A and B are shown apart, each in its own frame.
Chain A
Protein backbone atom coordinates (compact mmCIF):
# COMPACT_ATOMS: atom_id res chain seq x y z
CA UNK A 1 0.00 0.00 0.00
CA UNK A 2 1.02 3.58 -0.48
CA UNK A 3 1.56 5.94 2.35
CA UNK A 4 0.00 9.33 2.18
CA UNK A 5 1.95 12.37 3.28
CA UNK A 6 -0.27 13.19 6.21
CA UNK A 7 0.07 9.70 7.65
CA UNK A 8 3.83 9.93 7.47
CA UNK A 9 3.75 13.27 9.15
CA UNK A 10 1.63 11.91 11.95
CA UNK A 11 4.02 9.00 12.51
CA UNK A 12 6.90 11.45 12.50
CA UNK A 13 5.38 13.70 15.15
CA UNK A 14 4.44 10.69 17.29
CA UNK A 15 7.90 9.11 17.14
CA UNK A 16 10.00 12.23 17.42
CA UNK A 17 8.00 14.14 19.95
CA UNK A 18 4.60 13.09 21.36
CA UNK A 19 5.56 9.54 22.10
CA UNK A 20 9.34 9.84 22.12
CA UNK A 21 10.99 6.57 23.18
CA UNK A 22 13.40 8.18 25.61
CA UNK A 23 11.61 10.94 27.48
CA UNK A 24 8.03 9.75 27.09
CA UNK A 25 8.16 5.97 27.09
CA UNK A 26 11.55 5.70 28.86
CA UNK A 27 12.36 2.48 27.07
CA UNK A 28 15.53 0.99 25.77
CA UNK A 29 18.10 3.39 27.12
CA UNK A 30 20.18 0.56 28.53
CA UNK A 31 22.13 -0.40 25.47
CA UNK A 32 23.05 3.08 24.37
CA UNK A 33 23.49 5.13 27.51
CA UNK A 34 26.77 3.40 28.22
CA UNK A 35 28.41 4.67 25.04
CA UNK A 36 27.21 8.27 25.32
CA UNK A 37 30.56 9.47 26.65
CA UNK A 38 31.70 10.02 23.06
CA UNK A 39 29.56 11.50 20.30
CA UNK A 40 31.08 9.28 17.63
CA UNK A 41 30.28 6.06 19.49
CA UNK A 42 26.76 7.25 20.10
CA UNK A 43 26.28 8.05 16.43
CA UNK A 44 27.36 4.58 15.36
CA UNK A 45 25.15 2.97 17.99
CA UNK A 46 22.19 5.10 16.93
CA UNK A 47 22.71 4.24 13.29
CA UNK A 48 22.76 0.57 14.20
CA UNK A 49 19.53 1.09 16.10
CA UNK A 50 17.83 2.94 13.24
CA UNK A 51 18.77 0.10 10.89
CA UNK A 52 17.64 -2.66 13.24
CA UNK A 53 14.45 -1.06 14.45
CA UNK A 54 13.03 0.04 11.11
CA UNK A 55 13.86 -3.17 9.27
CA UNK A 56 12.81 -5.54 12.02
CA UNK A 57 9.50 -3.72 12.48
CA UNK A 58 8.89 -4.06 8.74
CA UNK A 59 9.85 -7.75 8.76
CA UNK A 60 7.64 -8.50 11.75
CA UNK A 61 4.83 -6.77 9.95
CA UNK A 62 5.37 -8.77 6.72
CA UNK A 63 5.26 -12.01 8.69
CA UNK A 64 2.46 -10.95 10.99
CA UNK A 65 -0.19 -13.14 9.38
CA UNK A 66 2.08 -16.18 9.21
CA UNK A 67 3.35 -16.24 12.79
CA UNK A 68 1.36 -18.31 15.30
CA UNK A 69 0.26 -16.12 18.15
CA UNK A 70 1.85 -18.01 21.04
CA UNK A 71 5.41 -18.07 19.67
CA UNK A 72 5.20 -14.48 18.43
CA UNK A 73 7.75 -13.11 20.90
CA UNK A 74 10.31 -15.74 20.03
CA UNK A 75 9.94 -15.05 16.29
CA UNK A 76 10.28 -11.32 16.90
CA UNK A 77 13.43 -11.85 18.94
CA UNK A 78 14.95 -13.98 16.20
CA UNK A 79 14.16 -11.38 13.55
CA UNK A 80 15.78 -8.66 15.65
CA UNK A 81 18.78 -10.88 16.37
CA UNK A 82 19.18 -11.48 12.63
CA UNK A 83 19.58 -7.77 11.89
CA UNK A 84 21.81 -7.21 14.91
CA UNK A 85 24.13 -9.97 13.73
CA UNK A 86 24.38 -8.25 10.34
CA UNK A 87 25.39 -5.01 12.05
CA UNK A 88 27.85 -6.79 14.31
CA UNK A 89 29.53 -8.72 11.51
CA UNK A 90 29.77 -5.62 9.30
CA UNK A 91 31.29 -3.56 12.10
CA UNK A 92 33.80 -6.26 12.92
CA UNK A 93 34.85 -6.55 9.30
CA UNK A 94 35.07 -2.91 8.28
CA UNK A 95 35.57 -1.01 11.52
CA UNK A 96 37.14 -3.37 14.07
CA UNK A 97 38.28 -0.47 16.22
CA UNK A 98 34.72 0.80 16.71
CA UNK A 99 33.49 -2.74 17.24
CA UNK A 100 35.97 -3.05 20.11
CA UNK A 101 34.91 0.30 21.58
CA UNK A 102 31.25 -0.63 21.59
CA UNK A 103 31.97 -4.03 23.11
CA UNK A 104 28.86 -5.99 23.99
CA UNK A 105 26.52 -3.08 23.48
CA UNK A 106 25.86 -3.79 19.81
CA UNK A 107 24.64 -7.26 20.73
CA UNK A 108 22.51 -5.78 23.46
CA UNK A 109 20.33 -4.04 20.89
CA UNK A 110 18.55 -7.40 20.74
CA UNK A 111 17.19 -6.93 24.24
CA UNK A 112 16.68 -3.20 23.76
CA UNK A 113 13.13 -2.78 24.95
CA UNK A 114 12.24 -0.17 22.36
CA UNK A 115 12.87 -2.52 19.43
CA UNK A 116 10.73 -5.24 20.92
CA UNK A 117 8.22 -2.65 22.09
CA UNK A 118 7.66 -1.17 18.62
CA UNK A 119 7.48 -4.59 16.95
CA UNK A 120 4.93 -5.68 19.50
CA UNK A 121 2.90 -2.48 19.67
CA UNK A 122 2.93 -1.42 16.04
CA UNK A 123 4.57 -3.89 13.66
CA UNK A 124 2.26 -6.64 14.75
CA UNK A 125 -0.93 -4.95 13.67
CA UNK A 126 0.06 -2.65 10.82
CA UNK A 127 1.17 -3.07 7.19
CA UNK A 128 4.94 -3.15 6.45
CA UNK A 129 5.25 0.35 5.01
CA UNK A 130 3.71 1.97 8.03
CA UNK A 131 5.61 -0.24 10.45
CA UNK A 132 8.86 0.73 8.73
CA UNK A 133 8.11 4.44 9.05
CA UNK A 134 7.04 4.04 12.65
CA UNK A 135 10.24 2.18 13.48
CA UNK A 136 12.34 4.72 11.65
CA UNK A 137 10.89 7.74 13.41
CA UNK A 138 10.97 6.09 16.80
CA UNK A 139 14.63 5.27 16.30
CA UNK A 140 15.33 8.83 15.15
CA UNK A 141 13.48 10.24 18.13
CA UNK A 142 15.59 8.04 20.33
CA UNK A 143 18.80 9.01 18.58
CA UNK A 144 18.37 12.74 18.78
CA UNK A 145 17.84 12.71 22.55
CA UNK A 146 20.86 10.49 23.13
CA UNK A 147 22.99 12.62 20.83
CA UNK A 148 22.12 15.63 22.98
CA UNK A 149 23.23 13.69 26.05
CA UNK A 150 26.44 12.60 24.32
CA UNK A 151 27.24 16.11 23.09
CA UNK A 152 27.05 17.59 26.57
CA UNK A 153 28.94 14.73 28.14
CA UNK A 154 31.81 14.94 25.70
CA UNK A 155 31.92 18.72 25.73
CA UNK A 156 31.85 19.17 29.50
CA UNK A 157 33.88 16.10 30.31
CA UNK A 158 36.63 16.27 27.71
CA UNK A 159 36.24 19.64 26.03
CA UNK A 160 35.89 18.04 22.62
CA UNK A 161 33.18 17.36 20.08
CA UNK A 162 33.61 14.35 17.79
CA UNK A 163 37.20 14.26 18.99
CA UNK A 164 37.92 17.86 17.89
CA UNK A 165 39.01 20.31 20.55
CA UNK A 166 36.39 23.00 21.11
CA UNK A 167 37.52 26.63 21.54
CA UNK A 168 36.54 27.54 25.08
CA UNK A 169 36.03 24.13 26.63
CA UNK A 170 39.44 22.68 25.87
CA UNK A 171 41.22 25.84 27.03
CA UNK A 172 42.70 26.60 30.43
CA UNK A 173 39.59 28.43 31.64
CA UNK A 174 37.44 25.35 31.58
CA UNK A 175 37.93 22.91 34.40
CA UNK A 176 36.99 19.58 32.88
CA UNK A 177 34.11 17.83 34.62
CA UNK A 178 35.52 14.34 34.95
CA UNK A 179 32.23 13.20 36.46
CA UNK A 180 30.52 13.73 33.12
CA UNK A 181 32.64 11.04 31.48
CA UNK A 182 32.02 8.62 34.33
CA UNK A 183 28.75 6.67 34.70
CA UNK A 184 26.98 9.08 37.10
CA UNK A 185 27.28 11.82 34.49
CA UNK A 186 25.14 9.81 32.09
CA UNK A 187 22.40 9.41 34.66
CA UNK A 188 22.43 13.08 35.59
CA UNK A 189 22.51 14.29 32.02
CA UNK A 190 19.71 12.01 30.91
CA UNK A 191 17.67 12.96 33.97
CA UNK A 192 18.05 16.63 33.11
CA UNK A 193 17.19 16.07 29.44
CA UNK A 194 14.06 14.11 30.42
CA UNK A 195 13.13 16.89 32.82
CA UNK A 196 13.52 19.65 30.23
CA UNK A 197 11.61 17.88 27.47
CA UNK A 198 8.81 16.75 29.74
CA UNK A 199 8.39 20.25 31.07
CA UNK A 200 8.17 21.66 27.56
CA UNK A 201 5.57 19.04 26.72
CA UNK A 202 3.56 19.84 29.83
CA UNK A 203 3.56 23.56 29.08
CA UNK A 204 2.45 22.94 25.52
CA UNK A 205 -0.38 20.68 26.61
CA UNK A 206 -1.59 23.30 29.04
CA UNK A 207 -1.61 25.92 26.34
CA UNK A 208 -3.50 23.79 23.84
CA UNK A 209 -6.17 22.67 26.30
Chain B
Protein backbone atom coordinates (compact mmCIF):
# COMPACT_ATOMS: atom_id res chain seq x y z
CA UNK B 1 0.00 0.00 0.00
CA UNK B 2 1.19 3.52 -0.71
CA UNK B 3 1.57 6.34 1.78
CA UNK B 4 -1.83 8.02 1.40
CA UNK B 5 -3.92 4.89 1.53
CA UNK B 6 -1.93 3.82 4.59
CA UNK B 7 -2.81 7.08 6.22
CA UNK B 8 -6.50 6.80 5.46
CA UNK B 9 -6.52 3.20 6.65
CA UNK B 10 -4.84 4.31 9.88
CA UNK B 11 -7.58 6.89 10.31
CA UNK B 12 -10.31 4.33 9.78
CA UNK B 13 -8.71 2.03 12.33
CA UNK B 14 -8.38 4.94 14.72
CA UNK B 15 -12.07 5.82 14.55
CA UNK B 16 -13.22 2.24 14.74
CA UNK B 17 -11.01 1.60 17.77
CA UNK B 18 -12.79 4.43 19.57
CA UNK B 19 -16.37 3.66 18.66
CA UNK B 20 -17.30 0.52 16.83
CA UNK B 21 -14.65 -1.78 18.25
CA UNK B 22 -14.09 -0.21 21.62
CA UNK B 23 -11.37 -2.14 23.40
CA UNK B 24 -13.36 -2.25 26.62
CA UNK B 25 -16.93 -2.62 25.52
CA UNK B 26 -16.44 -5.11 22.74
CA UNK B 27 -13.22 -6.86 23.69
CA UNK B 28 -13.58 -6.72 27.49
CA UNK B 29 -10.01 -5.62 28.04
CA UNK B 30 -9.07 -3.49 31.01
CA UNK B 31 -12.17 -4.52 32.94
CA UNK B 32 -10.52 -4.77 36.36
CA UNK B 33 -9.56 -1.11 36.75
CA UNK B 34 -12.78 -0.22 34.97
CA UNK B 35 -14.79 -1.82 37.74
CA UNK B 36 -12.39 -1.04 40.57
CA UNK B 37 -11.39 2.56 39.95
CA UNK B 38 -14.47 4.05 38.29
CA UNK B 39 -16.06 5.39 41.44
CA UNK B 40 -15.04 9.01 40.93
CA UNK B 41 -14.77 11.15 37.83
CA UNK B 42 -11.52 12.75 38.94
CA UNK B 43 -9.56 9.56 39.42
CA UNK B 44 -10.98 8.04 36.25
CA UNK B 45 -9.82 11.09 34.35
CA UNK B 46 -6.24 10.68 35.58
CA UNK B 47 -6.20 6.97 34.93
CA UNK B 48 -7.75 7.43 31.49
CA UNK B 49 -5.14 9.97 30.44
CA UNK B 50 -2.33 7.74 31.67
CA UNK B 51 -3.81 4.85 29.68
CA UNK B 52 -4.01 6.89 26.46
CA UNK B 53 -0.38 7.90 26.79
CA UNK B 54 1.04 4.52 27.77
CA UNK B 55 -1.08 2.59 25.27
CA UNK B 56 0.00 4.70 22.30
CA UNK B 57 3.68 4.66 23.12
CA UNK B 58 3.96 1.02 24.15
CA UNK B 59 2.10 -0.22 21.08
CA UNK B 60 4.57 1.69 18.93
CA UNK B 61 7.57 0.43 20.92
CA UNK B 62 6.25 -3.11 20.78
CA UNK B 63 5.69 -2.86 17.05
CA UNK B 64 9.32 -1.88 16.59
CA UNK B 65 10.54 -4.60 18.96
CA UNK B 66 8.44 -7.25 17.24
CA UNK B 67 9.22 -6.40 13.65
CA UNK B 68 12.83 -5.35 14.05
CA UNK B 69 14.07 -7.79 16.67
CA UNK B 70 11.80 -10.80 17.13
CA UNK B 71 10.67 -11.49 13.58
CA UNK B 72 14.11 -11.61 11.93
CA UNK B 73 15.28 -13.91 14.71
CA UNK B 74 12.22 -16.15 14.45
CA UNK B 75 11.46 -15.74 18.13
CA UNK B 76 7.77 -14.87 17.79
CA UNK B 77 6.71 -17.07 20.70
CA UNK B 78 8.90 -14.91 22.90
CA UNK B 79 6.66 -11.88 22.30
CA UNK B 80 4.63 -12.19 25.50
CA UNK B 81 7.69 -11.77 27.67
CA UNK B 82 9.17 -9.11 25.44
CA UNK B 83 5.98 -7.02 25.44
CA UNK B 84 5.50 -7.30 29.18
CA UNK B 85 9.07 -6.27 29.88
CA UNK B 86 8.83 -3.32 27.52
CA UNK B 87 5.57 -2.17 29.06
CA UNK B 88 6.83 -2.52 32.63
CA UNK B 89 10.14 -0.83 31.86
CA UNK B 90 8.46 2.00 29.99
CA UNK B 91 5.98 2.66 32.77
CA UNK B 92 8.78 2.67 35.33
CA UNK B 93 10.78 5.05 33.17
CA UNK B 94 7.89 7.46 32.69
CA UNK B 95 7.23 7.43 36.40
CA UNK B 96 10.81 8.40 37.13
CA UNK B 97 10.88 11.12 34.48
CA UNK B 98 7.71 12.87 35.53
CA UNK B 99 8.63 12.58 39.19
CA UNK B 100 11.84 14.40 38.41
CA UNK B 101 10.58 17.06 36.02
CA UNK B 102 6.93 17.64 36.67
CA UNK B 103 5.72 17.27 40.24
CA UNK B 104 2.34 18.56 39.15
CA UNK B 105 1.85 15.80 36.61
CA UNK B 106 3.27 13.27 39.03
CA UNK B 107 0.66 14.21 41.59
CA UNK B 108 -2.12 13.68 39.10
CA UNK B 109 -0.92 10.60 37.29
CA UNK B 110 1.74 9.11 39.55
CA UNK B 111 -0.44 6.77 41.54
CA UNK B 112 -2.03 5.34 38.42
CA UNK B 113 1.10 4.42 36.57
CA UNK B 114 1.98 1.23 38.48
CA UNK B 115 -1.62 0.09 38.05
CA UNK B 116 -1.24 0.34 34.32
CA UNK B 117 1.46 -2.32 34.04
CA UNK B 118 -1.10 -4.98 34.86
CA UNK B 119 -3.86 -3.44 32.76
CA UNK B 120 -4.75 -6.12 30.24
CA UNK B 121 -5.84 -3.54 27.69
CA UNK B 122 -2.26 -2.36 27.20
CA UNK B 123 -0.91 -5.82 26.45
CA UNK B 124 -4.07 -6.62 24.51
CA UNK B 125 -3.54 -3.75 22.07
CA UNK B 126 0.00 -4.95 21.38
CA UNK B 127 -1.14 -8.52 20.82
CA UNK B 128 -3.98 -7.46 18.53
CA UNK B 129 -1.59 -5.37 16.47
CA UNK B 130 0.58 -8.45 15.92
CA UNK B 131 -2.32 -10.75 15.09
CA UNK B 132 -3.90 -8.31 12.66
CA UNK B 133 -0.56 -7.56 11.09
CA UNK B 134 -0.85 -3.78 11.25
CA UNK B 135 1.77 -1.57 9.66
CA UNK B 136 3.58 1.08 11.66
CA UNK B 137 1.25 3.97 10.85
CA UNK B 138 -1.84 1.90 11.48
CA UNK B 139 -0.43 0.79 14.82
CA UNK B 140 -0.09 4.39 15.90
CA UNK B 141 -3.72 5.02 14.98
CA UNK B 142 -4.87 1.84 16.67
CA UNK B 143 -2.98 2.49 19.92
CA UNK B 144 -4.19 6.06 20.18
CA UNK B 145 -7.76 5.18 19.22
CA UNK B 146 -7.96 2.33 21.72
CA UNK B 147 -6.63 4.57 24.47
CA UNK B 148 -9.20 7.25 23.73
CA UNK B 149 -11.94 4.64 23.54
CA UNK B 150 -11.01 3.29 26.97
CA UNK B 151 -10.84 6.83 28.35
CA UNK B 152 -14.33 7.62 27.03
CA UNK B 153 -15.78 4.45 28.48
CA UNK B 154 -14.35 4.90 31.96
CA UNK B 155 -15.32 8.58 32.06
CA UNK B 156 -18.90 7.77 31.13
CA UNK B 157 -19.00 4.99 33.69
CA UNK B 158 -17.63 7.08 36.54
CA UNK B 159 -20.10 9.85 35.72
CA UNK B 160 -22.96 7.37 35.94
CA UNK B 161 -21.63 5.77 39.11
CA UNK B 162 -21.27 9.09 40.88
CA UNK B 163 -24.94 9.71 40.33
CA UNK B 164 -25.81 6.23 41.46
CA UNK B 165 -24.00 6.66 44.76
CA UNK B 166 -27.10 7.82 46.58
CA UNK B 167 -29.54 5.48 44.92
CA UNK B 168 -30.92 2.41 46.59
CA UNK B 169 -29.70 -0.68 44.85
CA UNK B 170 -30.57 -4.30 45.63
CA UNK B 171 -28.03 -5.71 48.02
CA UNK B 172 -26.50 -8.37 45.85
CA UNK B 173 -26.27 -5.97 42.96
CA UNK B 174 -24.29 -3.25 44.72
CA UNK B 175 -20.79 -2.54 43.47
CA UNK B 176 -19.60 -4.82 40.69
CA UNK B 177 -23.04 -6.20 39.82
CA UNK B 178 -24.60 -2.90 38.88
CA UNK B 179 -21.38 -1.78 37.20
CA UNK B 180 -21.50 -4.80 34.90
CA UNK B 181 -25.14 -4.17 34.03
CA UNK B 182 -24.37 -0.52 33.23
CA UNK B 183 -21.40 -1.61 31.15
CA UNK B 184 -23.77 -3.89 29.26
CA UNK B 185 -26.11 -0.98 28.55
CA UNK B 186 -23.16 1.12 27.43
CA UNK B 187 -21.97 -1.63 25.13
CA UNK B 188 -25.48 -1.78 23.73
CA UNK B 189 -25.36 1.96 23.06
CA UNK B 190 -21.98 1.66 21.37
CA UNK B 191 -23.36 -0.97 19.02
CA UNK B 192 -25.33 1.92 17.60
CA UNK B 193 -22.09 3.19 16.09
CA UNK B 194 -21.81 0.11 13.88
CA UNK B 195 -22.20 1.21 10.32
CA UNK B 196 -20.58 4.59 10.89
CA UNK B 197 -17.62 3.21 9.00
CA UNK B 198 -18.29 1.26 5.87
CA UNK B 199 -16.50 -1.98 5.32
CA UNK B 200 -15.44 -2.37 8.91
Contacts and interface: CB of A to CB of B under 8 A. Distances in A.
9 contacts: A26-B175, A85-B77, A103-B127, A111-B119, A111-B122, A111-B123, A184-B184, A184-B188, A191-B183
A113 interface: yes
Contacts of B1: none
Chain B contact surface mostly:
helix
Given A110-B80, A187-B181, 12 more contacts: A26-B32, A26-B176, A27-B32, A77-B84, A85-B81, A107-B79, A108-B29, A108-B124, A183-B28, A184-B185, A191-B173, A198-B171
A147 interface: no
Dominant SS among interface residues on chain A? helix
Contact of B187 (A82, A84, A187): A187
B68 interface: no
Contacts of B37: none
A108 B181 contact: no
A116 interface: yes
A30 interface: yes
Contacts of B188: 179, 184
A194 B183 CA distance: 14
A174 interface: no
Given A33-B31, A104-B127, A186-B28, A81 B120 contact: no
Interface residues of A, number: 48
B23 to A, nearest CB: 10
Q: Which of B80, B170, B183, B187 has the most CB of A within 10 A?
A: B80
Interface of B: 25-32, 35-36, 77-81, 84, 88, 117-124, 127-128, 130-131, 170-173, 175-181, 183-185, 187-188, 191
A190 interface: yes
Contacts, number: 131
Interface in A1-48: 23, 26-31, 33-34
Nearest to A199: B172
Contacts of B179: 191
Ranked nearest first, the 10 interchain pairs of A and B with the lowest CB-CB distance are: A187-B184, A199-B172, A191-B180, A104-B127, A198-B172, A191-B181, A184-B187, A111-B120, A188-B184, A26-B176
A124 to B, nearest CB: 16
Given A103-B131, A188-B181, A199-B171, A84 B176 contact: no
Interface of A: 23, 26-31, 33-34, 73-74, 77-78, 81-82, 84-85, 88-89, 103-104, 107-108, 110-113, 116, 179, 182-188, 190-192, 194-202
Contact of A104 (B117, B128, B185, B191): B128
Contact of B81 (A81, A186, A187): A81
B81 A78 contact: yes
Contacts of A34: 27-29
B178 A29 contact: no
A82 B124 CA distance: 18
B168 to A, nearest CB: 15
A30 B80 contact: no
Nearest to A89: B77
Contacts of A33: 28, 31
A191 B191 CA distance: 19
Task: With a 10 A CB-CB cut-off, give which of A84, A88, A112, A191 has the most chain B CB atoms.
Answer: A191
Contacts of A186: 28, 184
B184 A85 contact: no
B123 A108 contact: yes
A89 B117 CA distance: 24
